[in-house]
Amino acid sequence: MKECKGHERISEYAKKGIMSWSGNDDECHDSRWMHGGHGVISVTSNVLPGVMRKLMDTQDPKLNELT
């Protein structure tokens, strides 16, 4: 499910075994790597697909700070 209410909601779903994708480009890295999210449904990926792919494939806090 697409979730736009932030990390807390994604964490709640993850604990229940519900797969969720961040709807917030600015939170997607942390949602994926620290809160149990499965990815992102992203507007930014239309402009910077390689960057967004890397944010989802690798835990890269430095890249996340730049985005």
Give this prediction's pTM. Answer: 0.88
Q: Nearest to residue 39, comparing CAs of 15, 51, 52, 49?
A: 52
* pLDDT tens for the 67 residues of the chain, in order: 999 999 999 999 999 999 999 999 999 999 999 999 999 999 999 999 999 999 999 999 999 998 7
Q: Tell the burial category of 29 from Cβ atoms under 10 Å away from its Cβ (0-12, 13-18, 19+).
A: buried
SS3 67: coil
Domain ranges of the chain: 2-66
